Structure 1
Amino acid sequence: MTDPSGESNPAYVLGHSRHELDRLRVQARLLEPVTRHFFREAGIQPGMRVLDVGSGAGEVAFLAAELVGANGSVVGCDRSPIAVATATQAAEQRRTSHVDFREGDPAEMAFDEPFDAVVGRYVLPFQPDPSTILRGLARHLKPGGLMVFQEPDWTFVRSFPPATLNDQVCEWLTTTTELSGQSWNFLEQAYPAFVGADLPAPTVQLQTFVGGQPNTESG
């Protein structure tokens, strides 16, 4: 698959165009409080060395960098050279010196040191075989390290009372991903993905968003 930027990336159906990277930044603002909560609950702490998978524009890596502090470090990886260049530029603008972005598949890459934690957001549903990437990522963890992923599940996404435009957009998005062989529903896949990678069964938390006013971002 070739995205609008002209680069080939079969893993992520929405591509890595400039428009999509801008959309990811908007999405990051909505998801940031939930991601922060999940990471803290999972045990991301100051001083840790963290690997961020599928960094995109770098927002998750920057959040992880905030949580680990200046004595920690974050390496963000993405297969898209445009995403890596965008995230690197953002790190320079933020003057965030303990974050480094690299191009490639982190499940297949080599690193000089192991990590205390591997994190990712909206990554595993876009992999042909989530167990394979999890198995590869586990190689980079220290003994007892953390594997923390925040993934979507749209099983119960709806508007009440029905809102035609919202429901139509949701249908377009789910149909597009289904045609690519992917899915926005990962809850049922989480257990077999981790166990299939010879990892402990995952601890699962679920948090949703409720909006009731025009232009509501979260509630």
Structure 2
Amino acid sequence: MTEHARPATRIQAKNRAAILEAALTVFSEKGYGGATVQEIARTANLSKANLLYYFPSKAAIYRALLDSLLENWLAPLRALDPAGNPREEILRYVRRKLEMSRALPRESRLFAGEMLAGAPVMGETLSGDLRALVDDKAAVIGAWAEAGRIAPVDPHHLIFAIWALTQHYADFDVQVRAVLGGARSPFDEADAFLSDLFTRLLRP
């Protein structure tokens, strides 16, 4: 994006948001390789030249989306409170992750696509900031287990399991709905099932 000393006008902010919203739709449906700047611009109801005023390339749009996504995606993990009740904190994390899959399926599929591609954009972030955060929260969970407040559990793999069991409902939405039958929403049942599953797993 072209940098300006002055704050963005309302129109500029609106156009930038429209570009990112359109790009989220296009990237989540077609992947990075299948997306084009022209299609993103058309979806945003802007000309290609107008889009390139805000973002110099497809890669710049993609990076901006992923940076924003990761920040939002990790907020529930950051909120895990070492001073809280262990099972309540972990179950709250499970529910927040499941709700994000319900509310933000395109974001989940965008992130999954980046991972399946080998994380060409986010590789350094994954092994840096993400790893540090997960290690920190895994230490909290490990301390709870050592104190007997939850059952013995590998904290890193517990976090991986939560990611897998919640994001599956967004990333494999078509498969889930096909198996369950058409328009039936899986999320209320999934909430009850996962709450029971992790309650049993974590019970000392």
**TM more than 0.5:** no
When you count helix as a share of all residues, which structure comes out higher? 2
The alignment's TM-score, normalised by the length of structure 1, stands at 0.29
* Max Rg structure: 2
- Bigger relative contact order (CA 8 A; separation at least 6): 2
